[in-house]
A and B are shown apart, each in its own frame.
Chain A
Amino acid sequence: MQRYLVRRLFQIIPVFIGITFISFMIIRLAPGDPIVALFPPEVLNKVDRKVLAEQLGLNDPLPVQYLKMMANFFSGQLRSFQEKQTTFTLIADRLPTTLILSASAILCGLVIGIPIALISARRPYSILDTITTTGALIGVALPQFWLALVLILIFSEQLKLFPASGLRPIGSTSNNLVEMVPYLIMPVLVLTSSILPSIIRYTRSSLLDALGQDYVRTARSKGLRERRVIFAHALRNALIPVVTLIGSLLPLLLGGSVLVESIFGLPGLGRLAVRAALNRDYPVVLTLNMLSALLVLFANLLTDIVYTRLDPRISLG
C-alpha cells in the first residue's frame, strides 16, 4: 500500500505540471490584455502602462512568466492583478463558503438519495419506483437559476421563512455556523436537486444489479432478514459506482456553483473564478486551476483507495 501511494504521489507531479502549463499557455494566448482589464477605458490614459507591465512581470517571455508564477505560487506570494492581494488570501476568504455549500450538497444528496434508491430498488417498476425515477428526471431538467428564483419567491417573499440572500445576519461579523444555517438551506437545496438525480439513478441501478446476484439469493434462502441482506451484503458492492460518482462530483467543491452563489449572494469561489477569467486575472485563474488539478488528482487517488475497502477483490497494483 505504501509503495503504491508513493508511486501515485510521484505520478501526480508531472501531470500537475502538464495541466498547469497548458492552462497557462491557453489563457495567455487568448486575446485580451490584463492591463486593459484593470482599468475602465475612461481612466486608461492616466496610468503609466509601462511601469505597471514591468511590475506585473508581463514583459518577460511566456515560459519565464510561467516559471515565475509557479515559484510565487509555492512561496505563497502570487498576487492577483486586479485585487493585489495574494491569490491565497482571495481563495482562502471564499473557500469555506464553497466547501460548506458543496459538502452539504453532497451529504444531502447521499442522505436523501441512497434511501430513496433503496426503496426504489426493493420494488422495481412499482408506482413508488416510477415516481422517484420521474422525479429524478425532473430534477435534472430543472435549471438551477429558475429553481433558485422560485424558491426565493415562495420561501422568502411569500412565506418569509428563509432569507433571500447573504450568508449571515447583517450586523454579524462572526463565523458562527449555526447563524448561517437559515441562509444555507435554499442554496443547498438547489445544489442538491442537481446532483440528487444522478445519485438516485446510479445507486438504484447498481443495487438492482447487486440484488440480482447469486450471493443475494443464497443469503435470502438462508433465511436472513431482508434488511440484513441489503445492508450487510448487497449495499457495499452496489456502492462502488456511487463512489466513482462522488469522486467526479468532488471537483464541484472547487468550481463552486456560480449560479447559486450569484443568486443567493454567497461569497464563494465560483464568482471569483468567473470574474478572474473575464478580467484576465491570470494569477487567480492559474491558482484556481492548480488547486482544482490537485483536488481532482487526489480525489482519484482517494477513490481508488476506497474501492479496496469496499471490495476485497480489488487490490492496488
Chain B
Amino acid sequence: MKRLILVLLAVLSVAALPRTASAQAQPDTVVLAFSRQPDFLFPDYAVTSTAGFAMRVLYNALVKAGPDGKLVGDLAASWEVSADKLTWTFKLRPDAKWHDGQPVTAADVSYSFTFPADKDYTGLASDVSLALKGAQEYKDGKAKEIEGIKVIDDHTVSLTTLVPSALFLNLQGARYILPAHVLKAVPVKDLATSSQARSPIGTGPYKLIAWKTDELLTYTRFDDYYGDKAKIKNYIWKIIPEQSVQITELLGGTVDIVPEVLPDDFGDLKTNTAVKTLQLPGVNFTMLQLNQKNPLFADVRVRQAISYAIDRQSIIKAVGGGFGIEVTSIVHPSLPEYNKTLKGYPFNLNKAKALLAEVGWTDANSDGVLKAKGVKGVADGTKFSVEMGTFNRPLYQNQVQIIQQNLKIVGIETAIKVVDFNTYFSDYLTGTSNYQIGISGWFAFEQIPQGELLGNFGKDQPQNWVHWASTDEFEKILKDAPTEFDADKRNKLYWRAEEILEQEAVWVNLTRLDNLIAYSSKLKVPEVKSQSALFSSVGQWEWAK
C-alpha cells in the first residue's frame, strides 16, 4: 500500500516537469495542426491535398498568381513569347537560391521540364513536358534531349511548344522548379525514393529541417529567399489525427491555427473571443453522377428533374452545419473562369415532378414509385428503382439519407450501397460496372479548369464516368480555349462551357461545404480566398505585438 502511494507520487511529480511552453510564449514559432501527414514532398509524386499544402512554402514556379489574380513572375523575372506564339523565353531572377545555397539557374528549369518525359517516369507532370517540341521523341528514345528546351545562358531558358498554347503560363508556368544539382544523378525510376521526397531542397520562404513521421514537420525561415523574408521564424506542422484534440490544443495555446475545423465545432469557435475564424469556399464539392449509358438517365429532363428534387439547403445544414453553398459551376468561385451567372437548380419539387411526367414517368397506381409509359428506351411499366452508391466517408454517408428521401418524394426508389473509397473508384464507378447513380466528390484544383473540363466531360474521355455524349459546341470550346490568348475571351468560352454543363445537368452538382479555419486571435493572417492560398501565405503571418 505504501509502495503504491510512493509510485503515485512519483508519477505526479513527473507531471511537474516543464511542459511544452505554449507557442504563444514563443513569438518566433507558429504551430499548425493537421490530421494527416503529407505522403511526399516531391511535387511530381505527391498526390494528396495534404502534400500540396505542405509544399506551398517550399517551392516556386516560373510564374504565380498575383494579388489580383493576374499572373506575375516568381522565379522568372520577365518573359516574352515569340510571334508565332510557340516559344516562350524566360529570364530568371539572378538572386534566387536553393535551400542549400546553390543558385537557381536555367539548368534547373531545363531539368524540371526534361525528366517528366522520360520513359520510366510515373509522376504527375508528364503532360506538362509532352506538350513541348521534341518531348515525345525523347520519350521514345529517338533523341537524347528535348529539342524544345534550350538553355541560352545561366539565367535564360526558352521552351517551345508543339502548338500555340494560351494556357502555357497557367500550366507549364505553374510547374514547380526542382534542383538539378541534387536530382540529376538519380535514375528517373528512383526519383520517388530520392532525398527530395523527405528532405526537399526548394526555393521557397521556408525550408524543411526535420520530419518526425506522423508527428511533426518542422520548417524554418530561409534567410536567402529572394522575396519577402518570412516574418515568423519557425513554422511547425503538428499531426493530430483527432479533430476534437486539435481544438482543445488551439484553445489551450499549444496549437496556433487549425485549418480544418469541423462544422460542429465551428459554431462555438465563432463566438469565442480567443480565436478568430475564417469561412472560405471549399475546394471539395459533391455531386450525383447519373450513368447516362443507362436509358433511365439518358434524357436530360430526367437529370434536370433529379437536380430540382434535391434539397441542397438541408444537406448544407445537416452535414455542413450551415456553412456551405449550393454548387452551380464545377469551377472554384475564386477563379476568373468561374461563371457567376449560373442559377443552378433551386429546390423545386413541382418542377421535378412535371419534368418527369413530361418524359413519361407517372405513378398510375399511386404506390409511391414512378413507372414508365412511353419513355424512350424503357419498357412500359418499368419502375424507377435504382441503386445509389457511395463510399464510406462521413460527408458522403451523411448525404445519402437526405438524397434518398428527396428522391423518394418524387417517386424514385433508391437502394443505397456503400463501399470503401478504393473499391468505389476502382470498381463501382469505373470499368465494366454498370452503376446507376453514384454520389461522388471532386477536389477542384485552383488552376485553369481546362484539364478538368476535358477530362471529366470530354467525349469518350476515360474519366468521363457519366458517359455523357458531349456536344459539338462543348468540344469546340475545349479545342479553342487553349489557343485563345485574350484572357477575357477565353474566360467567356469557359463560362459558356460551364453553362452547357449546367443546362445538360451532366453532373447533378450538390454542395460545396466551406473550408472552416480557426486561429489564435493574436496571430495576424492576410486575407485569402481559399484554403490553399492560406498555406501559401505563411510567410506573411505574424504575431500581434
Which A positions have Cβ atoms within 8 angstroms of B? 31-33, 35-48, 51-52, 55, 79, 82-85, 90, 93-94, 111-112, 115, 149, 152-153, 156-157, 160-171, 173, 178, 181-182, 185, 261-268, 271-272, 278-280
Chain B residues in the interface with A (C-beta under 8 A)? 3-4, 7, 11, 14-15, 17, 19-21, 23, 29, 31, 39-40, 45, 47-49, 119-124, 126-127, 189, 192-193, 197-198, 210, 212-216, 218, 234, 236, 238-242, 244-245, 248-249, 251-252, 254, 419-423, 425-427, 440, 442-443, 445, 452, 455, 461-463
Partner of B215, one of A37, A40, A42, A166: A166
Report yes or no: B244 in contact with A33, Cβ–Cβ below 8 A: no
A41 touching B425 by the CB < 8 A rule? Answer: yes
Secondary structure class of chain B's binding surface, majority of residues: mixed
* A residues near B234, Cβ cutoff 8 Å: 171
**Distance to closest chain B CB from A268 (angstroms):** 8
The reply to whether B39 and A93 form a contact with Cβ atoms under 8 Å apart is no
Question: Measured between C-beta atoms, what is the minimum distance from A49 to chain B in Å?
Answer: 9
Q: State whether B251 touches A167 (Cβ < 8 A).
A: no
A280–chain B nearest beta-carbon distance, Å: 6
Give the nearest-CB partner of A45 in chain B: B463
CA distance A268 to B426 in the complex (A): 29
Chain B: which residue is nearest A79 at the CB level?
B193
**CA gap between A262 and B246 in the complex, in Å:** 12
Q: Is the CB of A182 within 8 A of B17?
A: yes
Bound-state Cα–Cα, A87 to B20, Å: 32
Closest 4 CB pairs of A and B: A267-B214, A33-B426, A36-B426, A32-B422
> When the two chains form their complex, are residues A167 and B236 in contact, meaning their CB atoms are under 8 A apart?
no
B122 & A52 in contact (Cβ 8 Å cutoff): yes
Residue numbers in B under 8 Å from A272 (CB-CB): 214
With contacts A169-B20, A173-B218, A265-B239 known, what are 19 further pairs, Cβ within 8 A?
A: A32-B423, A42-B445, A44-B463, A84-B197, A93-B213, A94-B213, A149-B244, A157-B251, A161-B15, A163-B20, A164-B248, A165-B242, A166-B215, A166-B240, A167-B215, A170-B236, A265-B215, A266-B214, A271-B214
Cβ A115 vs Cβ B4 within 8 A: yes
Q: Are B215 and A46 in contact (CB under 8 A)?
A: no
Chain A residues contacting B20 (CB-CB under 8 Å) are: 163, 166, 169-170
Q: For the complex, what is the distance from the CA of A264 to the CA of B419, rounded to whole Å?
A: 29
B179 to chain A, nearest CB (A): 19
| Inter-chain contacts of B421 with A (CB < 8 A) | 278
- Supposing A36-B426, A83-B39 touch, asked if A263 and B463 sit within 8 A by C-beta, the answer is no
Per the bound structure, the CA–CA distance linking A178 and B254 in Å amounts to 20
> Within the complex, what minimum Cβ distance (angstroms) separates B185 from chain A?
18
Please determine whether A48 and B126 come into contact, CB atoms closer than 8 angstroms: yes
Task: Evaluate contact between A173 and B210: CB separation under 8 angstroms.
Answer: yes
Closest to B3 in A: A115
With a cutoff of 8 Å between Cβ atoms, the chain B residues found around residue A178 in the complex are: 17
Chain B neighbourhood of A33, CB < 8 A: 422, 426-427
Q: A165-B245, A182-B17, A262-B241 are in contact. Are A51 and B210 (CB under 8 A)?
A: no
Complex contact B192–A45 (CB within 8 A):
no
Among B29, B238, B445, the residue within 8 A (CB) of A166 is: B238
Residues on B with beta carbons closer than 8 Å to the beta carbon of A38 = 47
> Can you offer 17 A-B residue contacts whose CB atoms are under 8 A?
A42-B442, A42-B445, A48-B122, A51-B122, A55-B189, A83-B39, A93-B214, A170-B29, A170-B216, A173-B210, A178-B17, A182-B17, A262-B241, A263-B241, A265-B238, A265-B245, A272-B214
- Contact pick for B248, options A42, A152, A181, A267, CB 8 Å: A152
Minimum CB–CB distance from B206 to chain A (whole Å) comes to: 15
- Tell me the smallest distance from the CB of B237 to a CB of chain A, in Å: 10
A165–B425 touching, CB < 8 Å: no
Contacts of A83 in B (CB 8 A): 39-40
B48 contacts which chain A residues (CB < 8 A)?
A: 40
Q: A32-B423, A156-B252, A166-B238 are in contact. Are A46 and B15 (CB under 8 A)?
A: no
B242 touches A265 (CB 8 A): yes
**How far, in angstroms, from A170 to B241 measured CA to CA in the complex?**
16
Are A39 and B252 within 8 A (Cβ)? no
